[in-house]
Structure 1
């Protein structure tokens, strides 16, 4: 199983602390520095100086680099295999990654197009071929690295470390989900919508954490997160979001706490979990989400490995 598989190895719990602690301290420092500062205004000033695409690189690049740091640490400092960091299966299931990516990418595209055709007054055509295709290349490279960094940090490195330290599944689910949400507290969306949007960020953390624990691997979360950020960035931008890009459409509407915050967490995400549970035959929800770690002599590393 995803966390249990490491109980048979002699990993130092202390080796799980430096990267999460360093990131939390950096996150706290950034929050203090941004307190009282209009983050969106800073982004707009940066865009006016170096342009949209370079601003995107400046914002996303450090997180993309963070992926390399986490993978290097796990592989060469902890001595843990990248396979065991990613999944409990005998090998990484790329079909799961692509299924999750294309499922959520298709749903996201459909929702944006429906809004565009039903509420055309809220959108403008933002497509500028030269700038868009440069951004497309940058996004295809950097966004999956950025989202994978967040998944490998929270749902892999931290979840496994906290799970081993507490012999629990529920504690790492709660801690990593809350920290994942708090990571976004300095985003300009918070200033625009208010702290109610933390329900969305923390709720997304719980959704990705539940997905990881139930599926005994990170693959579905990797695919979903990459699709969420990449497809969204390519299709739609707004002047009040963290990702202000050379996308195809621009949203002129005012965000609402109901549709933009509550609907995904309490309607869409539960439906997605239901779909995944049927496709991959998830069972024993209570034990997998709240139970203690159970270690047997032979851990079935291909449990729930249903194929599409």
Structure 2
């Protein structure tokens, strides 16, 4: 089973502590090019460091496509850090961090991607035609094509980093240490949501948006545990972020892109913020459960994690 994969590799508690330090360090290394580019651009424009008093002002210094690429670069380097830690610190094949299956099921990846991508496009189109005054069409071919190339290459790296870190490395690590499934599910979901506290959406919408972030982490964690692998979560997360980046942006979102639409409405945190968690996400889980024949929900989400017994075939020496 998925969490038990970690028992096949080196799984001492201190290795996970060292691993987290290495992964965080790698992601910080990946953020250096953005900082350098911002400083160079600020001085070349004559603005100087005094113009960079907060994160939002820093991100408006550069071209939006360049900013987008450099922001995502830190996640790509972080993903390399996860691979390095798994492969060399834990001696774990990367496939065992991905899934309990013998190889990655790309059909599951594409299904998770298509599910959220289709819903996002349908809901955005419906809202656009119902409330056209809330949107501005800002489509420009060349900037959009550049954005599309960056997004298609870099967003899967960004979302894969987050999935391999939370639903992979930490899910397995906490699972083998806690000896159960519910602790890693809750901890990874809360930490995943908590790391979004710095997003500008939280300042704009208030702390209620954390219900959405933590709820999304919980959804991805349930997918991973019930399906015994990360494929669905990998596809779902990539589809959510990629379509959002290409389709609609706003001045108050973490990714301000050259998307097709720009939302100019005044955002408010109401039932629409928690509706996905309470209504849409359970429907997604039911669809996946039916498609992939999920069973034993109690055992897979709340059961114990036990070290698998490896049977060694006995041989008889007749010499």
TM-score between the two structures when normalised by the length of structure 1: 0.88
Q: Which residue of 2 aligns with 1:261?
A: 273
The residue number in structure 2 matching 1:34 is none
**Which residues in structure 2 correspond to 1:9-28 (within 5 Å)?**
9-21=9-21
**Matches of 2:58 and 2:183 in 1, distance apart?**
41
* 1:172-225 deviation per Cα after TM superposition (whole angstroms, max 9, x unaligned): 001100100011000000100111111111111111001100000000000000
Q: Which residue of 1 aligns with 2:55?
A: 42
- Pairwise CA RMSD of aligned residues? 2.3
Matched, 1:90 2:99: no
Report Cα offsets for 1:34-68 as digits up to 9, x if no partner.
Answer: xxxxx996335532x21111111232211121111
Alpha carbons of structure 1 residues 25 and 182: separation in structure 2 relative to 1, 3 Å: farther
Rate the CA distance shift 1:171–1:20 in 2: closer, same or farther, 3 A: same
How has the CA–CA distance of structure 1 residues 25 and 145 changed in structure 2, closer, same or farther, with 3 Å as cutoff?
closer
Shift of 1:132: 0.6
Larger RCO, structure (CA 8 Å, separation 6 or more): 1
Deviation at 1:104, TM superposition (A): 1.1
The 5 Å alignment of 1:43-122 reads 43-47=56-60, 49-122=61-134
| CA 287–252 in structure 1, closer or farther in 2 if over 3 Å, else same | same
SS of 1:243's equivalent in the other structure is coil
SS of the residue aligned with 2:59? Answer: helix
SS of match in other structure, 2:136:
strand
**For the structure 1 residues 203 and 210, does the alpha-carbon distance in structure 2 shift closer, same or farther, using more than 3 Å as the test?**
same
Contact 2:99 2:229 in 1 (8 A): yes
Which one of the candidate residues 261, 270, 287 is aligned to 2:282? 270
Structure 1 residues 228 and 53, CA gap change in structure 2 (3 angstroms): same
Q: Is the 8 A contact 1:237 1:245 kept in 2?
A: yes
Cα separation, partners in 2 of 1:257 and 1:248, compared to 1, 3 Å: same
Unpaired stretches in structure 2, ≥5 consecutive residues: 28-51, 312-319
Q: Following superposition of structure 1 onto structure 2, how do residues 166-185 of structure 1 map, counting pairs within 5 Å?
A: 166-185=178-197
For 1:173 and 1:147, how far apart are their aligned partners in 2? 18
Q: For the Cα contact (< 8 Å) 1:163–1:169, is it kept in 2? A: yes
Aligned to 1:2: 2
Distance 2:207 2:23 in 1: 22
Query: What SS does the aligned partner of 2:196 have?
Result: coil
Alignment partners' CA distance in 2, 1:195 and 1:76 = 39
1:217 alignment counterpart: 229
Please state how far the C-alpha of 1:271 moved relative to its aligned partner: 0.7
Alignment of structure 1 residues 139-288 onto 2, 5 Å:
139-288=151-300
* CA distance in 2: counterparts of 1:24 and 1:224, whole angstroms: 24
Quote the Cα distance in structure 2 between the aligned partners of 1:258 and 1:59.
29
Listed as ranges, the gaps of 5+ residues in structure 1 are 28-38, 300-308
Contact 1:40–1:240 (8 Å) recurs in 2: no
SS of aligned partner of 1:195:
coil
- Rounded Cα–Cα distance in structure 2 between residues aligned with 1:24 and 1:99: 30
| Change over 3 Å in CA distance of 1:153–1:128 after alignment to 2 | same
SS where residue 250 of structure 1 aligns? strand
The Cα of 1:253 is off from its aligned counterpart by 1.5
Contact 2:5 2:97 in 1 (8 A): no
Secondary structure of the residue aligned to 1:203 is helix
Q: 1:245 to 1:20 in 2, by over 3 A?
A: same
1:36 maps to none
